[in-house]
């Protein structure tokens, strides 16, 4: 079974991450953006294909299960025929974080379109790395007997204006700190990340900027020191060359006498 997506995402585009599903040939795609503002409404639509094929052979009957951790979740599930059109009367609506719908072998039904809508929830625990994500949609195949395999997962990183600004400052500072490799700057950026993780975004941003400034100061100091060393080396070299020339000329003058 593969899970191929096409974008009709309202009002934002969410990055889709598909993980290995029921067959090894399941396509793995990622597109769009991967962030959404807390409190915004999102709609994601995807298509489940190869309904009756698994990595162990064909399957005649199973249950499609969907789960989401959005708020105020609604689902629309539509069966699609060989002409790539909705089967008449096949559209089903569900409310709640979980839905289940039976899938039975039918030559006229080749794909199932799944759409989930909901609101990005508040974050209970912030995490800079790995970045905290909200489950938008997880689809699974539940077989007779209760065994279940995940077909694919869609996640999004929630943010508010303060957290986004703090993360951008930390990301920017991290580039400079890693390049300079200064112990004090590293500690400051770690403190910034710790502040981010507890939701203290103003402090996180301030510390990130401080870390960047410290790292740049260290970098400038090293560059100035390197320049001074080069200048001193150049002066010494010039002095040695000048001395050699004077010595050579004086030696030639004495030899003539």
DSSP string of 107-149, one letter each residue: TT--EEEEEEEEEPPPPSS--TTTTP-EEEEEEEEE-TTS-EE
The least confident of 8-17, 46-55, 126-135, 205-214 is: 8-17
| Cα distance between residue 90 and residue 101, in whole Å | 11
Look up tokens 């979980």; give the residue. Answer: 98
Please tell me whether residue 26 adopts helix, strand or coil conformation. Answer: coil
Q: What is the pLDDT of residue 180?
A: 82
CA dihedral 48, 49, 52, 56 (to 10 degrees): -90
| Cα distance between residue 17 and residue 34, in whole Å | 9
For the residues 165-189, what does the mean pLDDT come to?
A: 89
> What token pair was written down for 214?
């410290």
Q: Are residues 17 and 106 in the same domain?
A: yes
* Residues 62/144, Cβ–Cβ less than 8 Å: yes
Structural domain range at position 125: 2-159
Q: Of the candidates 99, 134, 159, which is a domain's last residue?
A: 159
Strand partners, 65: 100, 140
Instruction: Assign residue 58 the CATH number of its domain.
Output: 2.60.40
Q: Are residues 249 and 195 in the same domain?
A: yes
Q: Are residues 55 and 24 in the same domain?
A: yes
Q: What is the pLDDT of residue 46?
A: 87
Number of domains the chain is built from: 2
Look up tokens 């938008």; give the residue. Answer: 136
Q: What is the pLDDT of residue 106?
A: 77
pLDDT in tens, 62-106: 999 999 999 999 999 999 988 889 988 889 999 999 999 999 887
CA atoms within 13 A on the CB side of 195: 21
Q: Of the candidates 119, 137, 159, which is a domain's last residue?
A: 159
> Rounded to the nearest 5 degrees, what angle is found at the Cα of 209, between the Cα atoms of 204 and 214?
125
Positive or negative torsion for Cα 220, 221, 223, 224? positive
Q: Are residues 235 and 249 in the same domain?
A: yes
pLDDT in tens, 108-153: 888 899 999 999 999 989 999 999 999 999 999 898 888 888 888 8
Q: Are residues 79 and 154 in the same domain?
A: yes
Q: Of the candidates 159, 183, 216, which is a domain's last residue?
A: 159
Look up tokens 């060359």; give the residue. Answer: 241
Among candidates 36, 45, 33, which has minimal Cα distance to 152?
A: 45
Q: Are residues 115 and 240 in the same domain?
A: no
């Amino acid at each position: 079974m593969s899970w191929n997506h096409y974008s009709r995402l309202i009002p934002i585009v969410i990055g889709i991450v598909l993980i290995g599903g029921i067959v090894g040939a399941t396509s793995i795609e990622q597109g769009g953006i991967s962030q959404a503002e807390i409190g915004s409404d999102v709609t994601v639509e995807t298509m489940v294909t190869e309904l009756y094929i698994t990595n162990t052979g064909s399957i005649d009957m199973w249950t499609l299960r969907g789960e989401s951790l959005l708020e105020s979740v609604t689902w629309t599930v539509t069966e699609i025929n060989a002409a790539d059109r909705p089967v008449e009367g096949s559209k089903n609506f569900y409310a709640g974080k979980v839905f289940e719908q039976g899938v039975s072998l039918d030559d006229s039904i080749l794909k199932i379109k799944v759409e989930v809508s909901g609101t990005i929830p508040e974050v209970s625990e912030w995490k800079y790395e790995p970045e905290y994500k909200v489950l938008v949609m997880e689809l699974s195949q539940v077989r007779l007997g209760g065994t279940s395999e995940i077909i694919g997962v869609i996640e999004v990183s929630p943010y508010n204006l303060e957290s986004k600004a703090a993360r951008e400052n930390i990301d920017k500072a991290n580039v400079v700190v890693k390049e300079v490799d200064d112990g004090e700057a590293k500690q400051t950026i770690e403190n910034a990340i710790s502040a981010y993780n507890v939701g203290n975004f103003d402090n996180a941003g301030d510390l990130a900027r401080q870390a960047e400034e410290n790292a740049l100061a260290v970098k400038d100091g090293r560059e100035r020191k390197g320049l001074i060393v080069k200048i001193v080396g150049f002066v010494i070299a010039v002095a040695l060359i000048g001395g050699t020339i004077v010595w050579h000329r004086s030696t030639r003058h004495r030899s003539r006498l």
